[in-house]
Chains A and B, each alone.
Chain A
Amino acid sequence: MSLDFNDETFRGDFTYRNSAKAIKRFPFPFPEDSYMYSVNMEPHVPGAVGSVFEHMFDVDEHYVSEMRDRAQVLADDPLRCQSLPHMELAGWDLLELIMVSKARDYPHWFELHRDGNQWHWINRPLQIDQKFTFMDASTLPYGPMEYITRQTQGDFTLQDQRDDDLWIEAGMVTTQADWSLDFDIGMSFKQWHAPVPLAHQMQIFDRALKFLLKLQHGAPVRRFNWTMTVDPLLDTSPENYPKWGPDKTTMTAETVGRRQHLRVELQTLHRLPRSNAIAFPIRCYLISFQDLVTVPKWARRLHRVVRDIPDELATYKGFIRNKPLMLDYLAPFDDGAATSPGFGVE
């Protein structure tokens, strides 16, 4: 593996680590000292150089290892990637969006050469050199969505738009916060979100849906979501819950700093041009508590968020059991000082 990318694992011996650079650019998701749902969408426009917002699709030091982990998840369970038959066109739209973006944003790693529908794609980090015919799935080793998302960090779902609703009808889901694509595929926006507590009553989904139905091509938006994960495990799937569930119970005061991770999802939404579908990349970033507390503002704020979150949300997010351990670890880093508003380190 080259100097740009870590050689690490997200299972077994869990050798995943964030470099000092990765900690510095970590997308801390709390703009204030408490948390409640909100629609919180903003334009997905390029952000500061070096930040996770600098490019349309962030490629970081974990790229190659994450893709290796995804390939393993798919080998174990091919149902993690599914596309209903009418979604292939949206898959091509997604492939084009990602290839064009990456070749533009990271020309030293990715190249795309197009002559009409004859395309040539080079992915140096993964050592892929592929000539294919755009819109002809028989010229790729997988369907277009699967092909490109095996080479792109983050989960992806594709939503068809019809009857004033969005229908999740294709997806690549191997780094999920405990939801099943196989179960949810085919659902409408509100059906898909049915298990989320409180938010329905707050009309969060009505407002979000209304907004997304009007999303325009060329004007993507983004938002954060977050949860907690014990060990840097990308594949916290319901399918494998009996395998990873027991590990949540073996954390101790000695290991919480190393094992407990804040899991942040950078979610972006893109209108796709040919299919009129919406692509929903859900990019997962993990940071251990011991790395997180190296930023004093983050440590203070995370302590307050975890302390004050309603039990219903802590249960839904799956960390109510370890909440006391987490608070014991974080409390010493919270001296009660005021924190500055916004995401910045100070």
Chain B
Amino acid sequence: MSVGAPKIPVVVAEVVAVNDLIKRFRFVRRDGGAMPVFSGGAHVVVEMDDHGTRRMNPYSLMSHPADSAGFEISVRRDEAGRGGSLYMHNHVRVGMEMVLSQPVNLFPLDARAKKHLLIAGGIGITPFVAQMAQLQAMGGRFELHYSVRSPALGAYVDRLRDHYGPRVHVYHDEFGEKIDLATLLKSQPLGTHVYVCGPKGMIAWVHATARAMGWPDRAVHSEEFLAPPVGQAFEVQLAASGKSITVQPNQSLLEAIEAAGIEAPYLCRGGACGQCETDVLRCDGIIEHNDHWLTDDQKASNTKIMPCVSRFRGAALILDR
């Protein structure tokens, strides 16, 4: 059984510096054909050939979901990361050919909600840009609360205010402005769903506050893609393929498996979707489970690993791949 959908060969049509940290990229199909339409909250995986190293990073789509002329993403420059965002910022130019995955949505709106309360921090605004466009078109009721560092780093604030007027609320850290979450959550009509996308701390804050105020867990939604962390190099034996590989410090296990020419399933490459889940046949050491997918029990038992973000320290790791 395979879930593979054909990848989308694209050319970069536009690169815009949104502010000092964020660039926006627009992709159109190389053959001039139509892109698939998508649902707000979907992401694509962008494949990069970073001077011989293959990188595949997920980015939320922020163009209008019904716009089949092209896809847009925004990328925040991460100086400390493994280099995907730096590659996008420093090397990707208009006219370059790249490859995208089909859109996949791990952060969908709950279509039954009486109201959608959207809470964004920084670059976490991107899925909401697409979701608001979709909600607007369908007459959905929503409100955005968007926290940014400063007016200069408030990506898309003007555009969102123009489109959605008083439904957009912006908070500037620089001026000491903070979302009054308790008041906000207290006054929502029954049937409201809250969505949060932003830094880890913000996501945890929204979940904890909502739970403490009696919101059901299923009315609270979040998306956080993890960048695969860097670490020590380690050896892995792949039993099904009969190969031994070395995972380099700034390479993920999934990338190392792919670099060895072995097909492995994936969708999000950020520890969220579960698609790359792999059975561990032997583990003499410690698996650094960095994913959001496996349960705590599964993590403790060391019988499964998510190769997109997790690493290993120890004597021997054998996987059923």
Write the residues of chain A forming the contact surface with B, with a CB cutoff of 8 angstroms: 39, 41-43, 86-87, 89, 135, 160-163, 211, 214-219, 221, 273-276
Contact = CB atoms under 8 A, between A and B. Distances in A.
28 contacts: A39-B1, A86-B112, A161-B108, A163-B218, A211-B1, A214-B267, A214-B274, A214-B275, A215-B3, A216-B4, A216-B5, A216-B102, A216-B104, A216-B267, A218-B102, A219-B2, A219-B3, A219-B6, A219-B102, A273-B37, A273-B38, A274-B65, A274-B66, A274-B134, A275-B111, A276-B42, A276-B105, A276-B108
Nearest to A87: B111
B63 interface: no
A217 B5 contact: yes
Contacts of B267: 214, 216
Contacts of B112: 86
Contacts of A163: 218
A160 B111 contact: yes
Nearest to B104: A216
B36 interface: yes
Interface string B239-274: 000000000000000000000000000010000011
Contacts of B5: 216-219
Interface of B: 1-6, 36-39, 42, 65-66, 102-105, 108, 110-112, 134, 137-138, 218, 267, 273-275
A163 B42 CA distance: 16
B1 A273 contact: no
Main secondary structure of the interface of A (DSSP, over half): loop
Main secondary structure of the interface of B (DSSP, over half): loop
Contacts of B111: 86-87, 89, 160, 275
Given A163-B218, A217-B102, A89 B138 contact: yes
Contacts of B66: 274
A160 B111 CA distance: 9
B103 A217 contact: yes
B1 to A, nearest CB: 6
B118 to A, nearest CB: 17
A274 B37 contact: yes
B30 to A, nearest CB: 17
Contacts of A216: 3-5, 102, 104, 267
B297 to A, nearest CB: 17
A273 B273 contact: no
